[in-house]
Structure 1
Amino acid sequence: MENQTWGAPNAPPAPLELGDAIASTFRAVGQNLVPFLVISAIVVLPTVIVQTILEVLIYNVTQQSLASTRPEEALSMLGLLSLGYIGVLGLIMLMYAFGQGAIMYLTVESLVGRKASVGDAVRAVLGRIVPLVIASFLVAFVTGIGAMFCFAPGIIAWIWLSAALPACLVERLGPIQSMQRSIELTEGHRMTIFLIFLVLFGGFFGVTLCVAMPARLAGGMTPGAIPNPLDPLQLAAKLVMFVVQLGSTMVLSAAIAVVYAKLRGLRDGVDAQALARVFA
């Protein structure tokens, strides 16, 4: 493994602390705001466009079904379009794996005081994109299964596996090995990791609620109603949500990278300089 040849840090690594991890995350985002924004837009924009197209098609087919004397044909088309969301989920997984890997690279470079370009990040990730996508799918699958039985097991599974993608990228492990490595790295620090992401997820969830609810009320929507995706209020809400998604992609991906780097320091005595050598 790569970590067997990496040097030890010059100073003992700082413990994983809530405030320090969050501060390091926002510092990394601030120092790399433009490349983070570009990568996040590459990740979020295609999924937003495809999802909006599907929503428009589903809305039109639904309206035709309600007005038609033979609604079974429209309903059959609606079922086919609904399957398109499976494709959207696949696209989200692909783009998420790419985006988190690229932001991981930029975050590690930032931790050692270097500035990297979007092109550097893309080149670093493309060689590992297949195992990254597979690892992302497996983490999502395990987390989803846990969430189906009860919400808590899903959260626990995600915390245990939160370092899988960075481990896959940096240590060049396979998907299953990356998940095992994440379980090993997070041991003894899972409550702190939970609190870090509780704060970050809580903040973005609050912003999302503040955006979605006013848009729903302003549009006069009733529960269960299907909104017109091209309604100006819906488009405005999508624009704001796009901005929120950009922010959450940047911050959460950087936070995972920061947590991973600190866990490597605590577990293996590996500093950020050693992590950065992987990409040299």
Structure 2
Amino acid sequence: MTIATLGRSGRFEIGRVFNSTFGVITRNIGLCVGLALLFSGLPTFLFQLWNEARMGKLAGVDSSNIALADPNVVIRDSLFTLAFVLVYFILSLLLQSALVRATIEDLNGKKPGFGDSVQIAIRCLLPTVGIGILVALGAGIASLALLVPGIILWLGWSVSVPVLVQERLGVLGSMSRSRALTKGNRWSLFGLFVILFILAMVVQALLGTFVLLFGTGIVGAVIGAVVSAVMSTVMSTATAVSYVELRQAKEGTSVDELAKIFS
């Protein structure tokens, strides 16, 4: 049985995307928690623990001697941090791809599977990394010149990964297709992501207050991992739902048609 389509032709509605996003997560809470912990929560937790230990060592060093620290240690820590950033970048793309698959399956009235979602994500890994790098470079360079052009470029490319996973158009083809789909609806997408960003800041502030009251260490690492996992899941699912909504609004494409690529 197929769930009813999200939208009506020609209209992209923030409220409907917002509700559908949390509907998908609620109906598949076990899957979402598992994917989020694997691709976001666990790596964040391990990095937080390492960083807490590193900062603890620095706290016991005379501030006048910090500049004289072993350069090998400084280089090692910098390389480790860089490695974590790269690994987290790849894992975040895997999470987004897996949740695109899970979202389409859910909206098609099916029960998405953990293994199937991960398999699709791994299959699309290399091109999604390519998209991630190009989007980061393009939007980043534009933002260095002027902030608004950078935001506009990022919004135009915001559904590139769902396009890649669903339509298999390659890196440049998916980015071009994303710009076509988002055209005319980028301010709506901007509003959606601003709402989610504010929500993330509120959650982070509340949990940060909890950390200040009850201590750091393991507690801080766990809370950091939880925030990362939750927000990664919400943002990735919202992006996938936005892609479905855009296709239905602009092209009248049903969820059934979107799901056929995996049949």
Partners of 1:65 and 1:74 within 8 A in 2? no
Work out which structure has the larger RCO, using CA pairs closer than 8 Å and 6 or more positions apart in sequence. Answer: 2
1:92-107 pair list within 5 angstroms = 92-107=88-103
Q: 1:169 aligns with which of 162, 165, 170?
A: 165
1:21 maps to what in 2? Answer: 17
1:85 is matched by which residue type in structure 2? T
Q: Flag the 1:91–1:19 CA change in 2: closer, same or farther, 3 A.
A: same
Q: In structure 2, what is the Cα distance between the partners aligned to 1:66 and 1:153?
A: 45
Q: 1:210 aligns with which of 186, 206, 210?
A: 206
1:225 maps to what in 2? Answer: none
Instruction: Please give the per-residue CA displacement for 1:138-197, whole angstroms capped at 9, x wherever unaligned.
Output: 222323334444544433232111111111111112222221111111000011111111
Instruction: Please give the per-residue CA displacement for 1:77-106, whole angstroms capped at 9, x wherever unaligned.
Output: 223312322211111111111101111111
Q: In structure 2, what is the Cα distance between the partners aligned to 1:124 and 1:279?
A: 9
1:58 aligns with 2:41: no
Q: Flag the 1:183–1:70 CA change in 2: closer, same or farther, 3 A.
A: closer
Q: In structure 2, what is the Cα distance between the partners aligned to 1:148 and 1:122?
A: 35
1:109-188 pair list within 5 angstroms = 109-188=105-184
Q: In structure 2, what is the Cα distance between the partners aligned to 1:106 and 1:195?
A: 24
Q: Flag the 1:83–1:149 CA change in 2: closer, same or farther, 3 A.
A: farther
1:253 is matched by which residue type in structure 2? S
TM superposition score normalised by structure 1: 0.82
Q: In structure 1, what is the Cα distance between the partners aligned to 2:234 and 2:34?
A: 14
Q: CA deviation at 1:67?
A: 7.5
Q: Give the aligned length.
A: 258
Q: Flag the 1:70–1:37 CA change in 2: closer, same or farther, 3 A.
A: closer
Partners of 1:50 and 1:88 within 8 A in 2? no
Q: CA deviation at 1:12?
A: 5.5
Pairwise CA RMSD of aligned residues? 2.6
Give ranges in structure 2 of 5+ residues lacking alignment: none
1:222 maps to what in 2? Answer: none
Instruction: Please give the per-residue CA displacement for 1:233-273, whole angstroms capped at 9, x wherever unaligned.
Output: 24313322322222212211111011101111233332111
1:35 maps to what in 2? Answer: 31
Structure having the larger proportion of residues in helix: 2
